[in-house]
Amino acid sequence: MGDYHFVYKDVEGSSTQWDDIQRKLGNLPPKPPAFKPDPFTPAQDEPKNKNWIDHKTQEELEDLEDDFDNDQFYQEHRRQKLAEMKQGVKIAKFGSIIPISRSNFVHEVSQASSDVWVVVVLYKDGYPECSVLMQCVKELATTYPATKFVQIVSTDCIPNHPDCYLPTVFVYNNGAVKASYVGLHKFGRRCTPEGVAVVLCQSDPVLNDGQSGGEGSREAVLEGVSKRFIEEVVTLHDNDDDADGSASD
């Protein structure tokens, strides 16, 4: 049979009488102090104020719903902050025409978020009609940043696309074509940003400024067109009066 050795360990920090005698004689090092945990100090709550709420994430604000049950001011500010966060996520911001190619057409257009309207302009450099429409679309992209405007060379989008069809505009929503316009004449005799806006919004709330809903943006488009028309009429009338006055002199 093998030898068995047992090692006895007492409670940590305790010592035998023999150890105490040896320490007095200097034969053992001093006894280490017994472990003593730091006194418990309750964590200080971070002061809850308006600035404290503003620095919380959306998830943190949702978890804090029960914390402000007895404080109407903070509860209301929490709700308002959450609404702003959710609205900011919901409304995409573009603000310019995005150049795309056939390789990313599906990602940029067909797979765009279902609440985003996408206006696709097929064009070619060197065609005056394309330049005229593109100037109008650039202005609309700035005015309605929640609507996505993209441009793609016609034959890159559709091989052998006839140049006589330029410019061509497709309107997409939720992965489907909702409207198409072939040629500059579709936007009136005088192609203006307001005229293009009215055509795009004929049946659907395509244009969105990111501040009002679809119906509101359509009303804003019509109001803008009316205002522009009145300004042009007044300017034309003033010019006619000036011309008549000069002739009489």
Taken in order 157, 134, 208, 215, the sign of the CA dihedral is negative
Assess whether 125 and 172 both reside in one domain: yes
Establish if 133 belongs to a structural domain: yes
Kindly report the pTM of this predicted structure: 0.57
Q: What is the maximal distance between C-alpha atoms in the chain?
A: 137
Same domain, 69 and 104: no
For residue 91, give the DSSP letter.
S
202 and 132 within one domain: yes
Rounded mean pLDDT, 90-119? 90
Number of domains in the chain: 2
* 75 and 109 co-located in one domain: no
Q: What pLDDT does 189 receive?
A: 84
57 vs 12 pLDDT, higher one: 57
- Are 72 and 145 in a shared domain? no
Do residues 75 and 138 share a domain?
Answer: no
Residue pLDDT, tens place only, 180-192: 999 999 998 889 9
How would residue 214 be classed by pLDDT, with cut points 50, 70 and 90? very low
Burial of 126 (C-beta count, 10 Å sphere; 0-12/13-18/19+)? exposed
Is 108 found in the same domain as 208? yes
What is the rounded distance in angstroms from the CA atom of residue 33 to the CA atom of residue 246? 109
Q: Are residues 167 and 70 in the same domain?
A: no
| Helix boundaries (H) for the chain | 17-24, 50-54, 58-63, 72-90, 105, 128-143, 154-157, 193-200, 214-248
- Residue 158 shares a structural domain with residue 193: yes
**Tens-place pLDDT, residues 161-182:** 999 999 999 999 999 999 999 9
What percent of the chain has pLDDT above 90?
A: 39
pLDDT the model gives residue 77: 62
| Whether residues 104 and 84 fall in one domain | no
Domain membership flag for residue 22 = no
**Domain boundaries, position 73:** 58-90
Whether 81 and 151 share a structural domain: no
Query: Is residue 40 over pLDDT 70?
Result: no
* Contact in structure between 113 and 202 (CB atoms under 8 Å): no
The answer as to whether 31 is a domain residue is no
Is 23 among the domain residues?
A: no
Q: Are residues 182 and 216 in the same domain?
A: yes
